[in-house]
Amino acid sequence: MAKKETIRVRFAPSPTGMLHLGNVRTALMNYLFAKKQNGDFVLRIEDTDPNRIFDKDGAQIIKDLLWFGLDYNEGPNKDGAYAPYIQSQRAKIYQEKLNELIEKNLVYRCFCTQEELDAKRKRQIALKLPPRYDRQCAQLSAAEIKEKLDAKKPFIWRMKLDPNKKIIINDLAHGTITFNLKHFSDFPLTRQNGTFTFMFANFVDDMIMNMSHVLRGEDHLSNTAGQAALYQAFNVPLPVFWHLPIICNTTGKKLSKRDFGFALDDLRTAGYLPEALVNYLAIIGG
Ligand code: GLU
């Protein structure tokens, strides 16, 4: 597939309030990657999950990034061809893209309740099967769907993955990775309240904002399978991925903002200079 010419990368944090050494390192890698190649470094605030909004419009994130010297070319408070850069303001775009998938019959409504999904999951675990959505709602007839819609049963849209398909991605850290879609669930694109999931909004924006590369934490590697299937559904070339190793705390878990001493705020208060932190983060491995 054709390679994108301009280097465009993005840092896409949820506005949970605080940057810490883990996610700021992702921002730094994106920034350096862009600057080295005369590319664009985009900031996008991913606020589709209402439980993760503690920093409205990402004001604290922006302040922290600027303290670090990581100014962005496009993002909130700046002009840019792909504005707005705050996901809660982009619902119309996600809906348009969802409509395209509905027209192509690549998605289906799932009416399962959370209790039903939990019960399925428990049963699969008890049977020592990998927990995955069993596609029950993919089998519904048109009449059954109409009946549920008439009864105003809440539903979500799920992506219809082809279990016979394998998807190959190119990752700068891991090399060629093959995902066998039969191991993945038909993941949700929307929530019952009509809002869009991280998986979908993040993909739509990367596609529309023309990202050439996606540099993000390794914890997103398994999401990449479903998102790669979305790129294929839209017949758009995949970006090149670089899943970065995760910085862990002393117990070996992913660094979180609750780990005292790693939040930028703590470090700033303790007197660390941004230049020293940037230097440290840039040399701890790629
Ligand atoms: N909002 C996601 C996060 O904070 C971004 C993941 C990505 O960079 O694709 O983890």
**What per-residue confidence (pLDDT) applies to 144?**
98
* pLDDT tens readout for residues 126-168: 999 989 999 999 999 999 999 999 999 999 999 999 999 999 9
User: Which residues does ligand 1 sit against, CB inside 6 Å?
Assistant: 12-14, 46, 202, 216, 220
Ligand 1: which residue has its CA nearest to atom 2?
A: 13
Dihedral sign from CA coordinates of 202, 207, 211, 217: positive
* pLDDT tens readout for residues 184-226: 999 999 999 999 999 999 999 999 999 999 999 999 999 999 9
Instruction: Find the 16 Cα to ligand 1 centroid distance in Å.
Output: 12
For ligand 1, pick from 23, 29, 46, 206 the residue to mutate: most ligand atoms within 8 Å of CB. 46
From the options 3.40.50.920, 3.40.50.740, 3.40.50.620, 3.40.50.300, give the CATH code of 8-89+165-284.
3.40.50.620
Query: For this structure, is 148 an active site residue?
Result: no
Domain boundaries, the chain: 8-89+165-284
Ligand 1: which residue has its CA nearest to atom 9?
A: 216
Indicate which atom in ligand 1 lies nearest the CA of residue 216: 8
Distances (CA, A) of 269 to 2, 31, 238, 259: 47, 24, 41, 15
Take residue 21 and report the two structure tokens written for it.
Answer: 């050494």
